[in-house]
Structure 1
């Protein structure tokens, strides 16, 4: 069985890898979850290449 979750947000690091723990339905929740414990602001993180991108996630039960 396959399920698709549309319009989900995730943080992408400067190297292009996705940070799976940040997968959220709202952009602001995704960013705030990523920034917990950080000394940087989101604007500073963006300047060095971090991104919050919209994705569609496909789950398959095997």
Structure 2
């Protein structure tokens, strides 16, 4: 390659900024999709108030 064919550093910086922004937006879109599309399975939990201090129950049972 000759010096005339090389992209300028300004162009390279903007391409890298664009790639970083696209990666950021894509990752966040994926997280939103997974949060909306996934439905966790029902898990056994305490339905009544526990006797020991560390026993907690679900705020509202989903199933």
Q: Shorter-chain TM-score: what band?
A: under 0.3
TM-score (norm 2): 0.24
Bigger fraction of residues in strand = 1
Q: State the structure with bigger RCO (CA 8 A, min sep 6), 1 or 2.
A: 1
TM-score (norm 1): 0.24
Q: Which has the larger radius of gyration?
A: 2
